[in-house]
Amino acid sequence: MLRVSRLTDYATVVMTCIAAHPADVLSTAQIADEARLELPTVSKLLKLLGHAGLVESFRGVNGGYRLARPAEAISLADIVEAMEGPIGMTECSVAQGQCDRQSQCGVSDSWRSVSGAIGGVLRAMTLAQMLAGRPTAPAKDATQVAQANA
């Protein structure tokens, strides 16, 4: 199955938990409890999300995490890229020159195009929409357009 890693899935859960308390700084323990995930796992996730600049961290007593910017300004693509690196469906969609068949390969352009379209789908879904928890219009529109063109 074409899918994101389980940690990426967890990361979206964690991010929505944090987004649900916009005013507070939540400790790893609080987040783990709310997301119903193991504490060390959540700790690892938050570390990566922090490096990507999606959450702010505060050390010391009463420390914890908070969104680095409003939930409307964080997309699913941001979260996926924080966890898995650049979005690209094949090796050669991301790193050029890896594949010695590049010159005569007819499919790399197609894959690059598809990767771009999928990136667009992920950018269209914001954390705020995920928090609202209902199927969102933008992604549905993209589906319909793609299907209409198929």
Partner DNA sequence: GAAAACAGTACCATTTTGGTCCGGTATTGA
Partner DNA sequence: TCAATACCGGACCAAAATGGTACTGTTTTC
Tell me which residues touch DNA (CB under 7 A): 5-7, 10, 26-29, 38, 40-41, 43-44, 46-47, 50-51, 57-65, 84
Residue 97, binding choice from DNA, a copy of itself, none, Cβ under 5 to 8 Å by partner class: none
Q: Tell me how far apart the alpha carbons of residues 18 and 15 are, in angstroms, rounded to a whole number.
A: 5
φ, ψ of residue 58 to 5 degrees: the values are -130, 125
* Beta carbon of residue 14, minimum distance to DNA (angstroms, whole number): 12
DSSP-based helix, strand, coil % in the chain, nearest 5: 60, 5, 35
Nearer CB in complex with DNA: 9/141 = 9
Nearer CB in complex with DNA: 7/142 = 7
CA distances from 82 to 37, 56, 63, 126, 127 (A): 19, 14, 22, 15, 14
Residue 16 within binding range of a copy of itself, rule CB under 8 A: yes
* Beta carbon of residue 71, minimum distance to a copy of itself (angstroms, whole number): 12
| Stretch 88-147 residues interacting with a copy of itself (CB under 8 A) | 88-91, 93-94, 101, 105-107, 109-114, 116-126, 129-131, 133-147
CB 111 within 8 A of CB 89: yes
Q: What is the DSSP letter of 27?
A: P
CB 15 within 8 A of CB 79: yes
Contact positions vs a copy of itself (CB under 8 A): 1-4, 6, 9, 12-13, 16, 36, 75-76, 80, 84-91, 93-94, 101, 105-107, 109-114, 116-126, 129-131, 133-147, 149-150
